[in-house]
Amino acid sequence: MRKLALWIAARPRRLVADRRGGVALLLALVVPVLMAASALAVDVSTWSVIKIELQRRADLAAYAAIMRYNSGDNAQTATGVGVAIAALNGGNATVATSTWTGATGTPANTMTGSDITVALVPGVITRSDNAMEVVVTTSVPLLVGKRWTTITAQTVSAKAYAEIQTTGGTPGTPGTGGQPCAAALNKNGTGVTVTGGSAVNLASCNVRSNAGVSVTNGSSITAPWVYGATITVSGGSSITNGTTTVNSSPTPPDTTAPIDITSSQLADPYAGNTSIVADFASLSPGSGTAFNGSWQSSTLNPGTYSSITSGSGSMTLNPGLYIVNGNINISNGATVTGAGVTIVTSGTVSFGGGATVTLSAPLSGTTSGGIPGVLIAGNSASTDTLSNGMKPTLTGVVYYPNGTMAISGGVSVGNGCLEMIAGSLSISNGSSFGSSCSSYGAATFPSMPGTPGTPGTASYGLVQ
């Protein structure tokens, strides 16, 4: 019994001294840590590869945006170019799905998409210079590490700046004269014609013609300023610039009032708009479905159409982009309404026959697919009878750079914003134009272009 007691008493000491299971216990404690670290290393390596790709995308977008801004594009167009370049290199956001904030927005002068922001900011090297800041982000799922953590994804981002350094360049002069709301881009002939006793009123924006301005047959223009290569006022007509009036009597007409007669050319403000350029390129005359809403009530959805016709019926256009590969004809007492709508057409637009038309463009930041601020855009060189025997209520930009916009029944402003930009404008009945549509995201540009300077050297510094 004594031997048994001694044997039992010795067992704990032997167990304490026994080292045969120590390595296994140590491995059991260390291996999970090593595996988690290895998993994290795999995921971090993946993030590093993706960050390199994002940095390349941000660099290209920033450089493209600042070069376009340096060449004369406005901030909205230039930042849109940055978004488009990022999309071409694998980004998700497009200009149409991005939100623009103007100079008074928060943050200011920023185009924000689902995976990118492009902003016009003060320079990094020299604060008085201009720079583009681009931030690109993406969410990367954990591949191996998700087995060791509740985190399922990691946000990876890259930032780039592209700055215009003015060293070696000479500054130009800024544009002047305020925003035009009635603009004719053709350089030959008479760009803006007002006749037939028409009264054209522009409360806070200008008339601007690259060719002539002709006001005849008892008509009048009232605007803060009228710009044209030549000015003709005859037949009991008048032009009022602010508080100064130019009358057609005595003969020859009085031309001493401050009407700017200039050969300086206004550039097409939408020639570089990536959305309009892409939509014009997509037009294919005759393609799509012909829609006829006559004699019935109908609702039209965004899409591609070969033509749109409505007469003696009501038609509602849902918000979005309408590509029309042909003509649009609204007449015979039809009622057409739509908010947040952009119509891009290869044909002509005719509103008349006692129809009631109330349309407005998409607001800035739209996600419906329309173009902010742009109501109607067409690339036809024909004459478009926007108003004939009726007075449509329109809000937004009507853009026909190649054709003549004829307004024979008048036009009214819906929500304080209406701009007409065409090759030529012919107005033969009273019309009212509102302020510029910049609050809707439309382009802002002066009546009198500035003189370009010698571009500074565009260099960029990277912040990663």
Q: Residue 312 — left, alpha, or beta (φ > 0 → left; ψ -120 to 50 → alpha)? A: left
Position 156 pLDDT exceeds 70? yes
Give 255 or 85, the one with higher predicted confidence: 85
Q: What pLDDT, in 10s, does the model give residues 396-429?
A: 999 999 999 888 876 766 666 889 999 999 988 7
Q: Residue 383 — pLDDT band, cuts 50, 70, 90?
A: confident
- State phi, psi for 13 to the nearest 5 degrees: -65, -40
Taking CA 393 as the corner, what is the angle to CA 391 and CA 397, rounded to the nearest 5 degrees?
A: 115
All residues at 6 or more sequence positions from 91 whose CB lies less than 8 Å from its CB, including other chains = 57, 61, 83, 113, 115, 116, 136
- State phi, psi for 8 to the nearest 5 degrees: -65, -40
The domain ranges of the chain are 22-171+457-463, 180-440
Tokens 């037949």 belong to 235
pLDDT of 302 = 95
Q: What is the pTM assigned to this prediction?
A: 0.65
Position 30 pLDDT exceeds 90? no
First to last CA, the chain: 79
Q: What pLDDT, in 10s, does the model give residues 172-220?
A: 777 777 889 899 999 887 799 998 888 888 878 889 999 989 998 888 8
Q: What pLDDT, in 10s, does the model give residues 286-320?
A: 999 999 988 888 899 999 999 999 888 899 999 99
Position 342 pLDDT exceeds 80? yes
Are residues 230 and 189 in contact, defined by beta-carbon separation less than 8 angstroms?
no
- Asked which of 66-80, 277-291, 321-335 is least confident by mean pLDDT, the reply is 66-80
Position 335 pLDDT exceeds 80? yes
Give residue 176's identity as a one-letter amino acid code. Answer: T
> CA-CA distance, 289 to 304, in Å (whole number)?
7
Q: Residue 282 — pLDDT band, cuts 50, 70, 90?
A: very high
- Asked which of 2-6, 344-348, 362-366, 457-461 is least confident by mean pLDDT, the reply is 2-6
pLDDT of 40 = 57
